[in-house]
Amino acid sequence: MARADNKTQAAAGDVDTFLAGIEDAGLREDSRVIAAMMARLSGEPPTMWGSAMVGFGSYHYQYDSGREGDFFRVGFGPRKRDLSLHLMGVYSDGGYERRQPLLDQLGKHKRGKSCLYIKQLSDVDMEVLEALVADSLAVMDRDYPR
C-alpha cells in the first residue's frame, strides 16, 4: 500500500512566535508551561506540526493495513477553549484504563483516544499531569525506540 501522508506534519514555523501569538493571556502562559514541561520530559526541542500543534520528538509508525507515517512522540495544541495534550503512548498502550488511578487525581479534564483536554492548568495537579506525560513517553520509548 502506498504511504498516505498525514494531514498534520512537521512544519517550519517558529514555536516561540506561535505561542506569543495566542490571544488569550492565560492560554498563552499555560501553553508556555506545557511546552517547557514536555521539552524537559522528552529531552526534545519543540517543533511546529501543522499550523497549530507543538510536538516533541518524532516516530515512524506502520499499521498492519500498510498505512504508515511520522508523528510527534508527545505534543499539544492550544485551542480556543482548552489545551489539547496529545499523549501518543497512552493510545498505543491500550488507552486510559491502566492510568485511571492517575486520572482520578488529575483534576478537571476531558479525554479522547490519545488526548487530554484541559481548560486551564490551575484545574489540574501538575505533578499528576507530569506523571501522565512521562508514562506516555516511556511507552513510546519502549514501542518506538529512538
Structural domain boundaries in the chain: 15-139
The closest alpha carbon to 22, from 68, 64, 54, belongs to 54
What is the SS3 assignment for 21? coil
The CATH classification number of 15-139 equals 3.90.1150.200
Burial class (CB in 10 A: 0-12, 13-18, 19+), 101: exposed
Bridge partners (DSSP) of residue 46 are: 56
* pTM given for the model: 0.89
What digits encode the pLDDT tens for the residues 49-58? 989 999 999 9
pLDDT of residue 61 exceeding 60: yes
Contact 133, 41 (CB under 8 A): yes
Q: Are 83 and 30 in contact (CB under 8 A)?
A: yes
